[in-house]
Chain A
Amino acid sequence: GNSVTQMEGPVTLSEEAFLTINCTYTATGYPSLFWYVQYPGEGLQLLLKATKADDKGSNKGFEATYRKETTSFHLEKGSVQVSDSAVYFCALSDPYGGSQGNLIFGKGTKLSVKP
């Protein structure tokens, strides 16, 4: 079945450091891939997405490239800020894989950025 595996946290970085959060997936069809972010006390927000192989999603300085050959969708940011502290979830949606397009989430990675 479909699944998402992302690196375990917590991840603690200093401000302006480079961020990578690894995410790999298993899917039977041709999924769309997502990164969601959950700030403290808030609901999930879509951060970026990619719907086909080699697509690059980007938003707020974050980027992730859909790599079909390595089944990966790693999240990167060149210079993190304290305000980026949150929990990040990698997810996939496989509308043609029998799951009706439902999102399947990884366990989440907590990021803490220190000033």
Chain B
Amino acid sequence: EAGVAQSPRYKIIEKRQSVAFWCNPISGHATLYWYQQILGQGPKLLIQFQNNGVVDDSQLPKDRFSAERLKGVDSTLKIQPAKLEDSAVYLCASSSNHYEQYFGPGTRLTVT
């Protein structure tokens, strides 16, 4: 089966600009996650969707980050405006249960 797809793979923007990342989960997976992985650290959950509803967004900086999951399938994560500290790899994962999450290759964001 196809894995989790993410695009773009790399993005360089200047601070205060906007950026959007796209994720297509594994077919049939109801749960979708966005993680932020800062260099040298483990991934940190930003937001979790169950179908098209938000389950947990407690660690999402809502003043600049937003996410949506259209029709319970694809998802988009947006940052507006970006800050230098947003430089990280943004990982999307999907799951059909609570025990196994499948990760995409990630989008590496550099904010200059």
- A residues near B (Cβ < 8 Å) are 4, 32, 36, 42-46, 49, 51, 89, 91, 93, 95, 99-103, 105-108
Contact = CB atoms under 8 A, between A and B. Distances in A.
B88 to A, nearest CB: 14
A95 B100 CA distance: 12
Contact-size category for B: 20 to 34
Contacts of B106: 43
B101 A32 contact: no
Given A49-B100, A102-B56, A43 B42 contact: no
A99 B43 CA distance: 15
A103 B43 contact: yes
Contact of B105 (A43, A91, A99, A103): A43
Classify the secondary structure of B's interface with A: loop
Contacts of B43: 44, 89, 103, 105
A103 B101 contact: yes
Interface of B: 4, 33, 40-45, 48, 55-56, 91, 93, 98-106
Given A43-B105, A51-B99, A93-B98, 5 more contacts: A43-B4, A102-B33, A102-B45, A103-B45, A107-B40
Contacts of A51: 99
A91 B37 CA distance: 14
13 contacts: A32-B99, A36-B103, A46-B102, A99-B56, A101-B99, A102-B33, A102-B48, A103-B33, A103-B101, A105-B43, A105-B44, A107-B42, A108-B40
